[in-house]
A and B are shown apart, each in its own frame.
Chain A
Amino acid sequence: MIEFRQVTKRYDSDHTALRHVSFELGRGELAFLTGHSGAGKSTLLKLILLMERPTAGEVRVGGQLLNTMPRRQIPYVRRHIGAVFQNHQLLFDRTVFDNVAMPLEVMGVSHGDIGRRVRAALDKVGLLSKEKMNPVQLSGGEQQRVGIARAVVNKPPVLLADEPTGNLDPELSADIMHLFEQFSQVGVTVLIATHDIALIESMGRRRLTLSQGELLAGQARRAGARA
């Protein structure tokens, strides 16, 4: 589903964020992306979301080569990738419902379908009763779950998360991780960038470790799995 082949990303002449990174994630696979700050985690996620382009190497999502994707095609790629951020990126000028509805609105889904699918996603993260509230009234954990509902509302085959449990206590973090596991069980490829080593070890899932832009472990495993 996600495939990196000898990917290098160089920002300026001296700063190289990623060096020859190769790995592959299959359909329904859940993996963690670790490494300390500046190791290149965000850069890797940005390459998948087409916020950045690789300097060298190939990035494929769902078999599609992203390197040469024309700019106007980018939105259609992003519609197949759900993204969750540490700071949730929720909009506080509208309700929880309207926040979650955004990915469907940009796709031109009809009004009735939007209502049905948004409620299904909110139900999934346990926030159906709060659809009419403003996200600002919610706790940190609830806001993060609204972000997750928004990321999965259009059923994307790929789900990315950047420090999704960064500000949460261990119990809430475990809840969130449990949600991600459920998505991977129905075939969503999930890649989670995190610092939370304890959490990663408790889950016993595949781990991609970046150090100074190089991938240390995890690149070989499941190399045969293809979307």
Chain B
Amino acid sequence: MSRTPRKPSESRARGAGPNRSSLSGVLASYRSHHLKVARDSAHRLLAAPVASAMTWAVMGIALALPVGLLLLLTSLQGISAGWESAARVTVYLGGQVSDEGAGQLRSQLTGRDDVAEVVLIHRDQALAEFRANSGLDEALDYLDENPLPHTLLVTPVDSARNAAGVDRLAGQLGSLEAVARVQVDLGWLQRLAAMTDLIARAVWVLTVLLAAAVILVIGNTIRLAIENRRDEILVAKLVGGTDAFVRRPFLYTGAWYGLGGGLVAVAILQLAIWWLNGPVRELAVLYNSEFSLRGLPLDGVLGLLLVAVALGWVGAWLAVRRHLDAIEPGEIAGAG
């Protein structure tokens, strides 16, 4: 026999490393071991497709729900932000105001410090637009004269483009003699903003809860996997497997569960957006809005997958901490 036993002192110095190989050899072997473990744990998941698919589906749904709500929320915040920056005051002039009077008023308002731009919509132009958009073409033909007044669209300067500034401007414009009515659309925008803030908080609470649920689901799944591979763990520990070595396949399993769940979530989201976007656009057109549901951008997809993998890993890590370290090979040797 060619084997010669080595002295522990000599081999202990090498620690976890394999035989007298170079550092690069150790790293190569470490990497190939990781690849092998990753492949093995993926194979194990695919060998039980139904059970794995169910875990993936649970994770996918739990992830898709908060992410979907977050997407909806960003879309809503998009509207209110867009409108606030374009906050305009609509000034309807009295019916008796002539073309010249409207033009003078426009020049006068343009001169104000807090006004950036004033657009005059002539009453004839307004009627033409109304005719085109409302579908009341024939009904309008019965009218003797144009019932619409001249309209001024007043855009405040940037510094006045806030709730207080717009309020003050609207008040001053309303007190002008030629002005019949002033309309500011900020009221419902503010309500929308307050509502999206509230929804945002609720969504974040939901996100945290569902993330915890995902971790628990994965943790429980990994716990079962640990029970199933108990013998293997005992033997691995007996022949000198480190904790890291014994944990590794389970951590990879958790990460694979996470990746699968993330992919299911992305699929659910894309399907839902595709299915909802048609009706949402139609609805938005009725409100004269460009609003549409935003899909998940590529970096969002990657981020979601990354978070899913991380959640799977954390769930596995918790299960492994709790259950794996408790398995000690002491029970192998019988009593006596």
Docked-complex contact A157 and B334, CB < 8 angstroms: no
Docked-complex contact A76 and B12, CB < 8 angstroms: yes
Residues of B near A111 (CB, < 8 A) are: 29, 32
Known contacts A62-B8, A63-B9, A113-B18: does B335 contact A72 (CB below 8 Å)?
no
Most buried by B among A40, A120, A155: A155
Residues of A near B7 (CB, < 8 A) are: 62, 157, 227
Of B146-154, B177-185, B227-235, the one contacting chain A is B227-235
Docked-complex contact B11 and A80, CB < 8 angstroms: yes
Known contacts A108-B16, A109-B18: does B237 contact A61 (CB below 8 Å)?
no
The answer to whether the Cβ of A182 comes within 8 Å of any Cβ in the partner chain is yes
Residues of A near B232 (CB, < 8 A) are: 91, 93
Docked-complex contact B333 and A45, CB < 8 angstroms: yes
Instruction: Report how far A188 CA is from B30 CA in the complex, Å.
Output: 29
The answer to whether the Cβ of A167 comes within 8 Å of any Cβ in the partner chain is no
**Which A residues fall within an 8 A CB radius of B?**
27, 37-42, 45-46, 49, 51-52, 61-64, 72, 75-80, 83, 85-86, 89, 91, 93, 102-103, 105-111, 113, 120, 124, 150, 152, 154-157, 162, 182-183, 186-188, 227
- Give residues of chain B (182-239) contacting chain A, Cβ–Cβ below 8 Å: 231-232, 234-239
Residues of A near B17 (CB, < 8 A) are: 107-108
Docked-complex contact A110 and B335, CB < 8 angstroms: no
Docked-complex contact A91 and B29, CB < 8 angstroms: no
**Which B residues fall within an 8 A CB radius of A?**
1-9, 11-12, 15-19, 21, 25-26, 28-30, 32-33, 231-232, 234-243, 245, 328-330, 332-336
Taking a contact as CB atoms closer than 8 A, the residue among A52, A106, A155 that contacts B241 in the complex is: A106
| Sample of 24 A–B contacts (CB below 8 Å) | A38-B335, A40-B336, A41-B336, A49-B333, A51-B328, A61-B8, A75-B237, A76-B15, A76-B240, A78-B239, A85-B333, A89-B332, A91-B235, A106-B240, A107-B17, A108-B18, A108-B29, A110-B21, A110-B28, A110-B29, A110-B32, A157-B7, A157-B8, A186-B1
Residues of B near A61 (CB, < 8 A) are: 8
Instruction: Report how far A52 CA is from B9 CA in the complex, Å.
Output: 22
Instruction: Report how far A152 CA is from B6 CA in the complex, Å.
Output: 12
Most buried by B among A41, A102, A183: A102
Closest A residue to B15 using CB positions: A76
Docked-complex contact A79 and B333, CB < 8 angstroms: no
Most buried by A among B5, B33, B332: B5
Instruction: Report how far A80 CA is from B14 CA in the complex, Å.
Output: 12
Docked-complex contact B5 and A51, CB < 8 angstroms: no
Residues of B near A188 (CB, < 8 A) are: 5
Residues of A near B238 (CB, < 8 A) are: 49, 78, 83, 89
Instruction: Report how far A190 CA is from B243 CA in the complex, Å.
Output: 27
Residues of B near A52 (CB, < 8 A) are: 330
Instruction: Report how far A106 CA is from B245 CA in the complex, Å.
Output: 7
Residues of B near A41 (CB, < 8 A) are: 336
Instruction: Report how far A45 CA is from B6 CA in the complex, Å.
Output: 21
Most buried by A among B28, B232, B235, B330: B235
Docked-complex contact A102 and B5, CB < 8 angstroms: no
Known contacts A72-B243, A108-B29: does B333 contact A80 (CB below 8 Å)?
no
The 7 closest A-B pairs by CB, nearest first: A62-B8, A79-B240, A51-B330, A157-B5, A106-B241, A78-B240, A103-B239
Taking a contact as CB atoms closer than 8 A, the residue among B5, B33, B234, B335 that contacts A42 in the complex is: B335
Docked-complex contact B243 and A105, CB < 8 angstroms: no
Instruction: Report how far A86 CA is from B332 CA in the complex, Å.
Output: 10
Docked-complex contact A157 and B28, CB < 8 angstroms: no
Residues of B near A107 (CB, < 8 A) are: 16-18, 240
Docked-complex contact A89 and B235, CB < 8 angstroms: yes
Docked-complex contact A46 and B333, CB < 8 angstroms: yes
Residues of A near B18 (CB, < 8 A) are: 107-110, 113
Supplied contacts A75-B240, A110-B21, A155-B4, 11 more A-B pairs, CB within 8 Å: A42-B334, A51-B329, A72-B242, A78-B238, A78-B240, A79-B240, A80-B8, A108-B18, A110-B28, A124-B1, A186-B5
Docked-complex contact A42 and B336, CB < 8 angstroms: yes
Nearest Cβ distance between residue B239 and chain A, in whole angstroms? 4
Docked-complex contact A109 and B242, CB < 8 angstroms: no
Instruction: Report how far A85 CA is from B231 CA in the complex, Å.
Output: 14
Residues of B near A186 (CB, < 8 A) are: 1, 3-5
Residues of A near B29 (CB, < 8 A) are: 108-111
Residues of A near B329 (CB, < 8 A) are: 49, 51
Instruction: Report how far A76 CA is from B316 CA in the complex, Å.
Output: 25
Instruction: Report how far A91 CA is from B228 CA in the complex, Å.
Output: 12
Most buried by A among B16, B19, B243: B19
Docked-complex contact B240 and A108, CB < 8 angstroms: no
Residues of B near A63 (CB, < 8 A) are: 8-9
